[in-house]
Amino acid sequence: MQNAGRTGSKAKQVALGVSGGISAYKAAEVARELQQRGLEVQVILTAHGQEFIRPLTFAALTGRKVITGMFGSGPQEANVESAIEHVAVAQSIDLLLVAPATADILAKFAHGIADDFLATLYLATQAPVVVAPAMNVNMWEHPATRENLDRLRSRGVSVVEPEAGYLACGMTGPGRLASPEAIVQRVMQILGLGQGSGSGDLQGEVVLVTAGPTRERIDAVRYISNRSSGKMGYAVAAAAQRRGARTILVSGPTALQPPPGVEYVPVTTAAEMRAAVLARLPESTVVIKAAAVADFRAPAHESGKIRRTGQGLTLVLEPTEDILAEIGRQKGSRILVGFAAETGDPVASAQAKLERKNLDLVVANDVSREGSGFDSDYNEVVLVGRNGNSRRLPRLKKDEVAQAILDELPQLRSHGKP
């Protein structure tokens, strides 16, 4: 919640927390990018952060004293003013950003441990909080870190997911600090400031997008899935982010890179996608379900590989949860958009799906058409709304289809979702 009592003409105040990791040097670029966008930056450098970058660097960039401890940097500074400084900072800032956020600082935040200035500031402030984690891939994937992140997200903390690549420890995988551009974009979105390119007409919206297929395991090497590439959902997420929305992308396995600035949540199975979507549903204002979720799964799977015996193999399958219908039952004032991949004329099926699942808009397409749909960069869809309204689009690139879908949102919002 943004603190009250500050006028719109005053520059927004951002506290930039820098914790101890090899990517701490990138925080200097983050500070510079924030300033170039007209924000005032107060840097808080943890004791471990000072092992990687010196306070003088940030003081020179920001023109402000860098806060390095709860009681000042020496006995001469250990006075009442420095002891309560965290309260003054907590009340003055519009946003707290931590980049890089180590596993240690995430654990402190999650469990309310206030043993340094930065952790105490997190507890004392009512401003929005953004964390950009960076750490070893094994630390990132450890259940303790995942649980801490889930706890922070449930409190409204925005997480800028790390990138995958070669890490300083010599390993390859997720854990590398997101780009300064992606981090700053998230800050600008949450502060409700301009996004550069894009119309900005979705500022204030939190758009939850699902994309890609799911995989339902049969044995150690086989699974049930479908042909979805995820391209349509990723295009929607990228377009929503550019138009000013805070965007959350829950994605099944794809070969695509998440769009910069989007909160990326990877999942594999339908059950995992359901859990991720429902966990983030309370903070969303728009849900766009572009994922091709598997309709069936094996109720049990083999721990090893099923061997060829020369005999046939019979699979017994059970239905997966209908995530879209479940959201429809509890959507409240949210706008809910579904996709319908059909063969033949999709409009009638889409209209029935819209009514059955309490949707506001269905994006319907005939997946049997050559050169569009699955695996293609193009799509040919019909936008089916309530009261029998529909709009057929020509064959377009998927990023153009994404824009057309998002163009419907302001109208749905202003007309009470017809």
- Residues assigned a catalytic role: 169
Vertex 194 angle, CA 193 and 195, to 5°: 120
Q: Is the dihedral of CA 297, 223, 227, 326 positive or negative?
A: positive
The size of the chain, in residues, is 418
Question: Hey, what are 220's tokens?
Answer: 């150690």
In terms of DSSP bridges, do strands 129-133 and 158-159 run parallel, antiparallel, or are they unpaired? Answer: parallel
Three-state secondary structure call for residue 209: strand
Hunting for tokens 């391209």 — which residue is that? 231
Question: Which residues contact residue 400 at a Cβ distance below 8 angstroms, ignoring those fewer than 6 apart?
Answer: none
The identity of residue 284, as a single letter, is: S
φ, ψ (nearest 5 deg) of residue 190? -70, -35
Q: How far apart are CA 88 and CA 203, in angstroms?
A: 29
Q: Is the dihedral of CA 345, 324, 161, 191 positive or negative?
A: positive
Contact (Cβ atoms closer than 8 angstroms) between residue 94 and residue 13:
yes
In terms of DSSP bridges, do strands 361-366 and 390-392 run parallel, antiparallel, or are they unpaired? Answer: unpaired
